[in-house]
Each structure stands twice: as C-alpha cells, then as structure tokens.
Structure 1
Amino acid sequence: MKDTIVTTKKRILLTGASGTVGFETLKHLMKNPNYEITVFDVKTRKSVKKLAPFRNRVEIVYGDICSASEMEKASQNKDVAIHLAAIIPPFADVNPELAYKVNVQGTANLIHALEEKSPQCYLLFSSSISVYGDRINNPEISVNDPLKPSPGDQYGETKVLCEQAIVKSNLSWSIFRLAAIMGNHKISKLMFHMPLDTPMEICTPEDTGRAFANAIAFQDQLENRIFNLGGGEDCVISYRSFLVKMFDAFGLGKANFPEKAFAEKNFHCGILFDGDQLEEIIRFRRQNLADYFEMVHQQVNPFQKKITILFRNFIKRWLLSKSEPYQAYRNGNEEEMEHFFNKNEKKVIEPVYQ
C-alpha cells in the first residue's frame, strides 16, 4: 500500500488586491493550487468589478482597513499576509490625513489582528523608494542608507512609520522597498515634482506581483530582512528620457516644457545599488524597459492617439498650468521656490510647443 502524501494548503491574506500591484500579485498567487486566498479590499465600484472574475476562486472580504474589528475577522488563521493596501500619491499629498489613517493606522490594525488571530503568520509589506528621499546627487541607493523622506512627502513618511511598526511587531516579516512601479499611471501634477535629470529604476507591475508571490516559498531566506525591489540595470533610465518616450507613445510630441516647469530637488527615486540581492533569491524579473514601452504602445488607443496629436499643444499648455514648480517660479513665491529649486532666478522662459 502506497503512502498517502498530504499537502497542507497555505492560507494567504492579500490586502489591496484591486490596486495595480495587488491585482498582479493576486494573478500570480492564483497559479498555485495549494494556496487558499482571502482578499481584503475596500468596496468600490472599481474593486467589485475588478475582483468579480475571482469571486468563485478566492474569498473576497470587503471592508475598511481602518476598522480594527473588520481586520480581525479577515486575519484569522492565516499563514501569510501580503499587505499592499495604501493611499498612494498624488492622493496621499492631497489628503494626508487619510493617507496617515489608512497607511499607518491600517497597518497597525493588521499587525495587531495578526498577532492576536494568526501569531505564526509571515507578513510581507510593500514599502517605497520614497523613504530614502532626494537622491539626485547620490542616486545609488542601498538598503542600509538613512531614511529621510523629502519635505512634504506624506506618503514616504507614512511608509517609514509602517516599517517601524512592523519591525517592532511579534510577527515574522519581510519589507520590500519598491522602485518606481510603472503601470496604469495617470498624468497628474506630480509629474513636475521629479527633477528631469533623476536616474530612475522602474519595475513593472507584473514583475512586482511575481516578487510578492514568489517570496512566500523563500520565507526562511527573507524573513526579518528588508530588501530593495527594482527591475535591475535593464530598467534604469533618466526621467527626461522616460518622459520623451512616454510623450511619443501617447502622441504628445516633444516633452518641451520649460526647465522651470520641473522641480530641481525634494523628490525621490534613484538606482537600487543592492537590488540584485532580492532577485538572486526569488527570481522575479522577466521584463525590462523595452518590454514596458512596448506594453505602453499596445495600450494606447490608435483613435485616441490621433485626437491627442491634434490637440497636443493645448494639452501641454493645460499640463503646464498644473505645474506647481512653474507657478511658484512665475509668481516669485520665495518659500515654494526654495522647496522646489536649488537657487532662485527671476527670468521666466516660456514654452515653445512644436
């Protein structure tokens, strides 16, 4: 008589599954038949529609992460928790109180719930490269570098507080500080906050989701450690070059804004000098910059691109009107100019759109 092999299923809790990285993580988790997955997300029209295809395959719990009692219900008997729920920029800057409530207090609720209901749970947390602050003058970033979010970066500050709470918890944990995760980004005033000469390392949502899913199998090598997560040397580009390629893909022509449209300091991003450490353990990278820009071109609607080409000068004037650095420069606002620029200048260069 042959021995019967009993496979114990891992019970996974995933927060923020309707977000860009969360959705990719969920898709990767679904590939493993030995995972029993519970999704915890805020109930919106978007989240219900996005998660609907999975409702017969995973347990979907809609609730408020700011509610301790609701988190306790979702956190019972879990082996792994992947915590991706957060208020991100630019909304985190618009509503810093909500960002603190969701990001910091919500994380505290999750930690407490897991400690009470699943004390052996392994917590995977998505932090951000923003915790390192302005690195334009020293762009090579290592995980042991000081955490100094740029002034006014509410999101970066909440991530530092979350990390501190996790490290002090009684749980096993790993923290991944994410590079610039490019996918489903909408144009906003935040695009003008990054200095044009910033070296940036990106990672695609698909690779990032794969990283969180893969990490579960390597808990013994990852637990109680912090890693930088990026796409590697094939995913490094200057912000100036990135904008040129994106504007071309969308039909906006040249990214020919005046230099003072963009801040010169007090943002974040850089090159993850030690990012290969995580890749060597969990092998999550599959895509590079060429893959990313190919995806962008495929996602652009040809008809919409024609319309954009027709109105691109108007669109760029409208975008420029959203630039906070440019408005500060034109209005001579000394306090804001000090925040955005290395030195104050009075000359204003108007854009010439082609």
Structure 2
Amino acid sequence: MATVLVTGGAGSMGRLVCARLAADEHRVRAFDLASANFEGLPDGVSALPGDLTSIADVNAAADGVDAVVHLAAILPPTADQLIELAQKVNVDGTQIIVDAIKAKAPHARLVFSSSVSVYGTPANDAEISTSQKYDPDDNYARTKAESEQIVVNAGLDSCVLRISGVSIPVFQEPPAAWPFLPDQKIEFVHRDDAVNAIVAGVTAELTDATRVVNVSGGPSWRMTGSKYVADYFGMIEVDPEAAIYQEEPGHFSWYSDQGGNDALSYQQNSYPQYLEQLQDDIDRLMEE
C-alpha cells in the first residue's frame, strides 16, 4: 500500500484515477483547488484543497508520499487564450511539484500526464516515436513540452505519459468542427485505458525506454478521421457527409508503442469494444 498524491484529483480524469488507486488499496490524496467539487470521492481518497502555484500548499501535500500523479493543468482552449495563466500553472506548477518531491519525498515516483501535442502537427505518415523532437505549435503544447523537460531533467524516479486524443464511451454532441482532417491518420485511446496507463505508472517496473511513453489505443484504433466520424455518425443516424472538419491538420497521428503497453498493460479496450459501449449508451438514452 502506497500513499499517492494526485494533482487535479477532483477533475473528471482525476476522479477516475483516484478511484482506481483507492481500489488498488493505496491511500490517495486528491489535491485540487478549494473551489473544486470534492463531493463523492470514494473511500480511501482524502480531499486536499490547495493551489498548485503555492509552494506551501504543494509542500504540505507532497510530504511523505510514495508517488505523485501530476494531472493538474490549464487545458485548451483556455491554455491558448490565457497564455500567462497556462505558463504559471502548467510550467511553474510542475517545477513546484518537482521541488516539493525533492524536499519532502525524494524517493517518490512522479507520473506526469503529458500530451502527443508536444510533437506538433506531424508532417509525414511515419509512426511517431518518443524520440521524435518536440515541435509544439500552440501554447498548450509548448507548456507540456517545457514541463516534460522539467520532469525528465529533475533526477527523480519519473514516468512521462504522452496521451493521445481520449475517446469517452458516452454520447456527446459532435463538435462544431472535428479536430482533424478527413484523411488524417488518428489513433485515439479509450478513456479507461488512459486511466489504466496513469495508474500503472505509479508502480510499474520501468526501463530507460519506458520512462517516456506514447499512450494510444493500439492497432484496432488506427484509422483515418473520416472513418472515426463515419462510425460515430452511423450510430446517431446522421449522414457523414454533413461532418465539418477543421481546416488544418490536428495534433494526431499513429504512434509507436516501443514497449509502453508491455510495461503498463493499459490497452484493454479495443476500438470495436468502444463502439459497442458507445452504442449501449445511445440505446440507454433512447429508452429514457
């Protein structure tokens, strides 16, 4: 049993991570802003209000922990609109986390939730490996790339997870514009598998090759944007020709595994299973 601090622990992904860690019998500290909704946290998870940009708050939260899962961040589109805030929270906040671990829990593992957006917009059809150079082309991606460098150069026991687009198996209204081109290669990841990777990162045996991992869906999730949209629209009986795509390529591609799934065993929901789960949710809504 370990004591694990989860920053952003009251958020949508943070709650799932906290619940899974608690189910694995870890003691979990859910750290988030005092304004966050901490209601309904499962047994084994303690609410810990605090500010990621406060050295005192973070030091107190990290005192004596065995691991830190760092999820808290300003996300798009806010991160691309409020540049200074994103820098303060995403980058400066990561430095505060690293410093707190060094001071209060130097043997703790740091699991950092990053993004495939650090690669920018891929210019070719090759699989993207973790050795590919950073090429961020928006502020959010730049803050993630800067934060990664803080983590990997900290001299800590760390794991960086570059998470692809997350597909949630519940019905959501289609976006105003899909964030990719129709012929663009995409390899999303099931929400539960992203959680699997984050949770596994806390205790997994890692090698130098698996300290930075592309977290993506695997072979069954490899497709083009138009295939993904056609499957989605087919379930809600909408003509795929009505789909609107953004005008520029998105931060998506196909990703090299490089032993990441062997180390973390996170790919447990195939794309066909995701479609079944999504169809079940749509059927449930239709019956209400």
Contact 1:251 1:305 in 2 (8 A): no
Q: Partner of 2:242 in structure 1?
A: 256
Relative to the length of structure 2, the TM-score reads 0.89
In the alignment, which residue of structure 2 is the partner of 1:295?
277
The one of 75, 94, 105 aligned to 2:81: 94
Offset from partner CA, 1:59-80 (integer Å, 9 cap, x none): 2101221222111110100111
In the TM superposition, residue 220 of structure 1 has moved relative to its aligned partner by 4.5
Q: Determine the structure 2 residue equivalent to 1:346.
A: none
Matched letter for residue 40 of structure 1:
F
* Residue 140 (structure 1) aligned with residue 127 (structure 2): yes
- State whether residues 174 and 222 of structure 1, in contact with CA within 8 Å, keep that contact through their aligned partners in structure 2: no
Structure 2: how far apart are the matches of 1:87 and 1:156? 11
Matches of 2:254 and 2:51 in 1, distance apart? Answer: 35
Distance 1:214 1:222, change over 3 A: farther
Distance in 2 (alpha carbons) for counterparts of 1:186 and 1:94 = 24
CA contact (8 A) 1:40 1:62 kept: yes
Offset at 1:269? 0.8
- In structure 2, the residue matched to 1:311 is none
Aligned residue for 1:149, secondary structure, equals coil
Q: How far off is 1:224 after superposition?
A: 7.9
Query: Which residue is 1:342 aligned to?
Result: none
Q: What letter is aligned with 2:33?
A: V
Q: 1:233 to 1:77 in 2, by over 3 A?
A: same
Change (3 A) 1:303 1:217: closer
Q: Aligned partners of 2:165, 2:205: CA distance in 1, in Å? A: 24
Shift of 1:281: 1.8
Q: Which residue of 2 aligns with 1:179?
A: 164
2:142 equivalent in structure 1 = 157
Letter in 1 for 2:217: G
The TM-score normalised by the length of structure 1 is 0.73
Q: Distance in 1 between matches of 2:266 and 2:208?
A: 14
Same amino acid, percent of matched pairs: 25
Residues 125 and 176 in structure 1, CA contact (< 8 A), matched pair in contact too: yes
Q: Which residue of 1 aligns with 2:13?
A: 21
Distance change >3 Å, CA 200–CA 86, structure 1 → 2: same
One-letter identity of the residue aligned with 1:43? A
Root-mean-square deviation (Å): 2.5
The residue aligned with 1:225 is 211
Relative to structure 1, is the Cα distance of residues 241 and 110 closer, same or farther in structure 2, using a 3 angstrom cutoff?
same
The alpha-carbon distance between structure 1 residues 187 and 254, as it changes in their structure 2 partners (threshold 3 A), is closer
Where does the alignment leave 5 or more consecutive residues of structure 2 unmatched?
Answer: none
The residue that corresponds to 1:167 in the other structure is: 152
Amino acid at match of 1:11: T
Matched, 1:77 2:37: no
CA distance in 2 between partners of 1:239 and 1:182 (Å)? 13
Asked which structure has the greater CA Rg, the reply is 1
Distance 1:163 1:238, change over 3 A: same
- Is the Cα–Cα contact under 8 Å of residues 164 and 214 in structure 2 kept in the other structure? yes
Q: Are the structure 2 counterparts of residues 242 and 160 from structure 1 closer, same or farther at C-alpha, using a change threshold of 3 Å?
A: same
Is this contact kept in 2: 1:20–1:205, CA < 8 A? Answer: no
Q: Distance in 1 between matches of 2:60 and 2:111?
A: 19
My pick for the range that moved more, 211-220 or 167-176, is 211-220
| Corresponding residue number in structure 2 for 1:124 | 111
* Paired AA for residue 295 in structure 1: Q
- Distance change >3 Å, CA 255–CA 225, structure 1 → 2: same
Q: Which amino acid aligns with 1:278?
A: G
Alignment partner, residue 54 of structure 2: 67
Q: Which has the higher helix share?
A: 1
| Secondary structure of the corresponding residue to residue 99 of structure 2 | helix
Please list the CA deviations of residues 279-299 of structure 1 after superposition, one character each: whole Å capped at 9, or x if unmatched.
112212110111222222233
